[in-house]
Amino acid sequence: MEMLSSRDLSEAMETSRTVRTLEVGKKNRDEALVAELMRLEKRIFPKHESLAESFSQEIQRRNGGVLYVMEDTAGSGDSSEGRGRGVAGYLMYSCTSLMAIITKLAVRENCRRQGYGETLLRAAIEKVRSRKVMCVSLHVDPLREPAFSLYKKLGFEVETLVHSYYAPQRDAYRMVLTFDSD
């Protein structure tokens, strides 16, 4: 598998967008933000793939994290809540001692193809890399070509095809990004 060096990651992190971290496991976190993330989850993913019903529990996991990015002020200005800037997208991940798993990457429909997903994914890679994991894995529907292309662009490689991962007759690629040992 192709290795991604620390230098490549550092160069990749240069972005004008600020990726923020949802305070996982904290009782004083912004409940309005959590509600907005849950609404986004419900809109983007089919019910059988959505974590909306268990979103609050998912963000309590101590071995995980949630990153999010707000819509650029120069963007459309049409937030999902009709109050200016809103959440453009978010990413959920979990870590073990050796690897990280990207469990969700969601970008609001009117914010797609503007670099938000790439910004989130690059930030997540950097964050989990700092935890000294050896690799990052994720699953993607082979028919979601923009997502698949993004993962390939950032160095993920197809490890295997998982049959009926999402539903009967709906497969997924398991993709892996392996870090070099510098």
Residue 39 phi, psi dihedral angles, 5° rounding: -65, -40
User: How far is the first Cα of the chain from the last one, in angstroms, to the nearest whole number?
Assistant: 16
- The model's pTM is 0.79
Q: What is the mean pLDDT of each successive set of 10 residues along the chain, which is 182 residues long?
A: 43 61 67 87 82 72 88 55 72 92 94 95 94 95 95 97 93 95 66
Q: How far apart are CA 45 and CA 35, in angstroms?
A: 16
What's the DSSP call for residue 30?
-
Minimal CA–CA distance to 139: which of 93, 74, 77? 93
| Cα→Cα distances 31→55, 116, 120, 140, Å | 12, 22, 21, 29
Q: Which amino acid is at 94?
A: S
Structure-block tokens of residue 67: 């990153």
Domain ranges of the chain: 3-179
Report pLDDT for 154. Answer: 97
> Is the distance from CB of 112 to CB of 146 less than 8 angstroms?
yes
Structure-block tokens of residue 103: 């469990």
Report pLDDT for 160. Answer: 97
- Rg of the Cα trace of the chain? 16
**pLDDT tens across 146-164, in order?**
999 999 999 999 999 999 9
What residue spans of the chain are helical by DSSP H? 6-12, 31-44, 55-58, 116-129, 145-153
- Cα torsion at 16, 96, 142, 110 (round to 10°)? -30
At the top level of CATH, the class of 3-179 is alpha beta
Place of tokens 């890399």: 129
